[in-house]
Structure 1
Amino acid sequence: MAEPDPRRWKALALLCAANFMVILDSQIVLLAVPSIQRGLGLAASGAQWVLSAYLLGFGGLLLLGGRAADLAGRRRTFLAGTVLFLVASLACGLAWTGGALIGARVLQGLSAALMAPSALSIVTATFGEGPERHRAIAVWGGVGGFGGTAALLAGGPLTDVLGWRAIFFLNVPVAALLLVLGPLLLAESRGAARAYDPAGAASVTLAVTAAVFGVVRAPEEGWTSPWTAGAFAVAVLAGAAFVRAESRSAAPLVPLRTFRSRTLTGGNAVTFAAATAVFGTSFAVSQYAQGVLGYSPLVFGFATAVLPVAAVAGSYAAQAALGRWAVRPVAVAGLAVMAAGCLALGRVTAGAGYAPGLLPGLALLGFGLGTCGVAGSVAALAGSADGDAGLASGINTASFQLGGAFGVAAASTAVASWTDGTGPAALTAGFRGAFDVSAGIALAGALVAGVLLAAPARRTVPEPEQVRVK
C-alpha cells in the first residue's frame, strides 16, 4: 500500500484557497453592482450581466472542465485555469467599459470551470478513502460554505473603502501564490486514457449554458416570455442530443452509467438544494437589510459575519457526524436546519432589530449550509472511481452553481410577486415571500435526499469508495 503524500495537508490548504476564491467571485459583485453601474455608466440590465456573465461561463464549461482534468492531468488543468483566472481578474479590475467588464467576467467564469473541478478531484486523489478523506472534504466544504457567504461580508467593505475594482484585484496576488506553490505541493494524476468526445462536449455545454441563461433572465423577462421559453427549449433539445451522443460514443464525456448511482444523484440533489436556498436567501437578505433596515454595505457586511462562521462550524459538525452515522441523516438534517433558518427569516418585520430579526435565521442557515456542503460532496464523490474523480467533481460543482443561479432567480421572482407597494411594510412582505420559498426548496431537497440516499449505492464503476447511506 502506497504511503500517504506528506505534502497532502499543505496541498489541501492551497486547494481550499482556490476554492474560496472561485466561490467568492460568483457572488462578491452583488453588493458592488450599484457602484459598478455608476462608475461605468451601465443600464440596469447591463449591471445584472456583471453577475450573470460569470455564472454563464462557470456553469457552461464545468462538466467539460472536470473531464479535461481526468484526461489532460488534474494539476495541469488546475494551473492552466489559475493562469486564466489571474488574467481575467486583472482584466475585470482594469475594465474601461461595461462591455469589457462583462466579457472579462465570462472569461473569469470559464477559468473557474477549469479550476474548481480539477481542485476537488486532486483532493480525492490525494487522500485515501475513509476518515481522512472525509476530514479533507469537511475542510473543503467548510471553506466553500465560507466563500459562498463571505462574499456578503467582504463585498461591502471593499467597495466602500477601496472602490469596486478592488474586489477583482484581490484575486491577483492569490492566483499568483497558487501558481508559485502549486507545482511544489500538488502531485499530478489523471484518469484512464480516453479520447475526447467533441459531440458530447458541445451538446452538454450548450444545454447547461442555455439553462443558466434562461434562469438568470427569467426574473426580468418573465418565466413564460419568449426569451426564457426559448432558452429552456434549447436546453432541452441540447440535453436530448447529449444523451444520444453519449449513448453512442465509444469514449463518452459523461458515461450515462454515472447517473445510475443513487449516492451520486442524491449527493448532487443535496448540493443543488442547499445552494438554491442559501443564494436565494442571501440575495433577499441583502436587499432587505439595505432597502428596509437602511444598512450600509459596510454595516451589512459585518452583520452577516455570523453566516460564514456558522458554515465552518457546520462543516466540522458534519465531519464528526459522518464518523458515527451514515450520510443520509446528516444530509437531511442539514437541509432541515437550513429550512428552519429560512423560516426564521421569513418572520422578520419592517422594524425588526438585528438580534431578534436576522441573527437566529442567519446562524441556522450557515450551520445547515456547512453540514450540507460536506454531506453532499461526500455522497456525490463516493460512487466514482479515481479515473472519474474530475467528472464527479465537475458534476458536483455544477450542481452548486446551477442551484445558486436558480436560487437568485426564484428569490427575485418571489420578491416581485409578494411585493404590493413601495413602503417598508410592502417591501418586507416581498422579502418574506422569498425566504419562505427558499425554506420550501430546502425541505423539498431534504425529502429527495431522504429517498435517493435510502438505498445502498449501486456499484457502477470499479472500486468506488463505500459510503453508508441508510
Structure 2
Amino acid sequence: MTQRTTASHAVLAVVLACQLMVGVDATVVNVALPEIQMRLHFTQTGLAWVFNAYTLAFGGLLLLGGRAGDLLGRRRMFSLGVLLFTAASLLCGLATRPWWLVAARALQGVGGALASPNVLSLIMSNHAEGPGRTRALGVFAAASSASLALGLLAGGVLTLVGSWRWVFFVNVPVGVAILVLTPVFVRETETRRGRFDLPGAVTATAGVAGLAYGVARTTASGWADPVTVAVLGVAMLLLVCFVLVEARAEQPIMPLWLFADRRRATAYVNTLLVPGTVFAVVYFLTQHLQEGLGYGPLASGLAFLPMTVVLMGVVRRVGDLIGRWGTRPVMVAGIALVVAALLWLTRLTGDSGYLADVLGPLVLLGAGAGLTTVALSVTSLSGVRAEDSGAGAGVFQTLQWTSWSLGLAVLVSVYHRASGGGVSSAFTGASVIAGLALLNALVLARRTACEASDVSAGGGG
C-alpha cells in the first residue's frame, strides 16, 4: 500500500467518523424520547421539538455549509461544524429544562450542517474522479445509510445501560478525537476569492427551514391546517425567489448548471424520492416491532442488523459493478430491489412475525439501498468542478434530507388516514414513490441507449 493510499484512507476514516456521528444522531434520540419526556417534563407538543429543532437547523443550513466550505476552506468549515456539534452534544446531555435541550439540539443541527456537506467535498478533493472516488463514495453511502439503523441500536443500548443523557454524551469523545486528528491527516483545500451570495443564502435557508417546519407540523395538524398551508406556501415562494436569485448571482450558493446534465438531474430527482422510503421502513418497522411484536428498544435495534450487514457488504462490491456496467444499470437494479422490499412489506399484518415477514424485506432493502445510494452519489457528484464541490455536496445532501423529512411526513399522513390498514398502508405509499423513481431511472436508461445508438449510427460525434 502506497503512502498516498494510506493518507487517503486516513482522511476517509476521519471524515466518515463525523458522518457516522451526525447520521446516528438523526435516529439515536428517538428511542430515548419517552425517558426525556418523563425526566424533563416535556409536553407532547414540546417533545416533538427535540427532533424538529435539529432537522430545521440542519436542513435549512446545508446549502450554506457546503458553499462556505468552497469559499472559506472545507477543512476549516468541517472542523468548525464538528466543534459546534460536539459542544452542543455536551449541552444536550447536561440539559435540565426543556428549552435548554431544544436550543442545544438546534445548535447540533447548525454544527451538522457545516460539517456534513464538507465531508463529501473533502472526500472529492482527496480522491481523483474514477474507481478510487467511487469506492470512497461507496463507503460514505454505507456510513450514511447504516447510521440510521445503528442510531436505533445505539439509542437502545445507551438508554438501557445508562440514561437518555448518554445518547448525547457519547458524541463528545468522538468529536474531540475528530478535532484532534483532522489537522494531522486532512489537508486544507484552496479558498476562493469572491463575494458571498448573501441573498441566496438567506432565501435558501429560510425556504428550506420553512419547508421543514411546515412538513413537521403536518404530523400533528394535518395538511389542511391553515397555518401549515400558509407556512408551506411562503416556503415555496422563498424557494422560487432563491432560484431566481441564483440565476443572476455571480457566485451562486447553488450553481444552476448542476441541473443541466440529464443524468445528474435524474439522480437528483431520485435522491428526492428514494431515501425517504428507506427511512420510512426504519420508522414504521420500529413501531411494528415494538407495538405489534412486543420488542424492546434494544431488540428493535438488533432487528435491523441484517439490513445493515447486507448494505455494507453490497457497498464493498458496488464500485466494481459500476466500473463494469455503469451507474444507470446499478441504479435501476438497486431501486428495483427497494420496490420489491416495500411491496413485500405491504403484506404485514398484526400477526406477521419477524423471520417470515420482516427479515426477507430487510435483506432486499439493504442490498437495494447499497446499490442505489452509491449510484446516486456518484452520478450526482461526477463532473462537478473542484471549486464547486462543496455546493454540489450541499445540493445532494439537501435533497437527501428533504426526502427523509418530506417523504416521512407524507407517509405518516397516509398511515393515519388509512382505515385499518396499519403500517402496510404506509409501505403501499412508499412503494408508489419508489416505483416513480424506478420509472424515472428506466426512462433515463432508455434515452441514453437511444442516444448512444444514434451516435453510433452517425459515425460518432
Q: TM-score of the superposition, structure 2-length normalised?
A: 0.93
Query: How far does residue 149 in structure 1 lie from its aligned partner after superposition?
Result: 2.0
Secondary structure, counterpart of 1:32 in structure 2: helix
Deviation at 1:192, TM superposition (A): 4.2
CA distance in 2, matches of 1:161, 1:308: 23
Which residues of structure 1 form unaligned runs of 5+? 421-428, 457-470
Question: Which residue type is aligned with residue 131 of structure 2?
Answer: P
Partner of 1:459: none
Offset of residue 188 of structure 1: 0.9
Please state how far the C-alpha of 1:310 moved relative to its aligned partner: 1.9
- Equivalent position amino acid for 1:435 in 2: F
Deviation of 1:453 (Å): 6.0
> How far, CA to CA, are the matches of 1:321 and 1:403 in structure 2?
26
Provide the residue aligned with 1:434 in structure 2. 426
Read off the aligned partner of 1:440 and give its amino acid letter: V
Aligned to 1:407: 407
Give the Cα–Cα distance (whole angstroms) in 1 for the partners of residues 38 and 179 of structure 2.
34
Which residue of structure 1 aligns with residue 124 of structure 2?
A: 124
Aligned equivalents of 2:72, 2:445: Cα separation in 1:
32
- Separation (CA, whole Å) in 1 of partners of 2:273 and 2:328: 15
Cα distance in 2 for residues equivalent to 1:149 and 1:77: 27
Q: SS state of the match for residue 54, structure 1?
A: helix
Deviation at 1:363, TM superposition (A): 1.4
2:451 is matched with none
Aligned to 1:232: 232
3-state DSSP class of the match of 2:384?
coil
Q: How does 1:102-121 map to 2 (within 5 A)?
A: 102-121=102-121
Give the deviation of 1:36 after TM superposition: 1.2
CA distance in structure 2 between the aligned counterparts of 1:13 and 1:225, rounded to whole angstroms: 46
Q: Aligned AA for 1:431?
A: V
**Given that residues 53 and 109 in structure 1 are in contact (C-alpha distance below 8 angstroms), is that contact kept between their aligned partners in structure 2?**
yes
Residue by residue over 1:154-197, the C-alpha shift from the partner in whole angstroms, topping out at 9 and shown as x without a partner, is 22222122111111111111100000000000011146432101
Q: Which runs of 4+ in 1 moved over 4 A?
A: 3-6, 452-456
User: Hey, what does 1:217 align to over in structure 2?
Assistant: 217
Q: Residues 8-407 of structure 1 correspond to what in structure 2 (within 5 A)?
A: 8-190=8-190, 192-407=192-407
Matching residue's letter, 1:445: A
Among all aligned residue pairs of Structure 1 and Structure 2, give the percentage whose two residues are the same amino acid. Answer: 37
One-letter identity of the residue aligned with 1:165: R
Give the drift of 1:130: 0.8
The alpha carbon displacement at 1:397 in A equals: 1.1
SS of residue matched to 2:120: helix
User: For 2:274 and 2:32, how far apart are their aligned partners in 1?
Assistant: 24
For residues 85 and 71 of structure 1, what CA distance do their matches in structure 2 show? 21
Answer yes or no: is the 8 Å Cα contact 2:62–2:113 preserved in 1: yes
Taking the aligned partners of 1:238 and 1:7, their CA distance within structure 2 comes to 43
Quick one: structure 1 residues 140 and 164, their matched pair in 2 at CA, closer, same or farther if it must change by over 3 Å? Answer: same
Q: Secondary structure at the match of 2:58?
A: helix
Q: Which residue of 1 aligns with 2:459?
A: none
CA RMSD of aligned residues (A): 1.7
Counterpart of 1:131 in structure 2: which amino acid?
P
Contact kept? 1:11, 1:185, Cα under 8 Å: yes
d(CA) in 1 for partners of 2:276, 2:445: 20
The count of residues paired between Structure 1 and Structure 2 equals: 447
Judged with a 3 Å threshold, the aligned counterparts in structure 2 of structure 1 residues 211 and 336 are, in CA distance, closer, same or farther, namely: same
Output one character per residue of 1:417-454: Cα deviation in whole Å (capped at 9) or x when no partner: 1244xxxxxxxx32111111112211111222333566
Question: Structure 2, unaligned stretches of length 5 or more?
Answer: 449-461
Once the two structures are overlaid, the 10-residue window that deviates more, 26-35 or 65-74, is 26-35
Q: Identify the range of structure 1 (43-52 vs 312-321) with the bigger mean alpha-carbon deviation.
A: 312-321
Alignment partners' CA distance in 2, 1:214 and 1:451 = 32
Q: Alpha carbons of 1:160 and 1:139: their partners in 2 closer, same or farther (altered >3 Å)?
A: same
Give the conservation status (yes or no) of the 8 Å contact 1:344–1:361.
Answer: yes
Kindly tell me: are residues 146 and 398 of structure 1, through their superposed partners in 2, closer, same or farther at Cα, counting changes over 3 Å?
same
| TM-score, scaled to structure 1 | 0.91
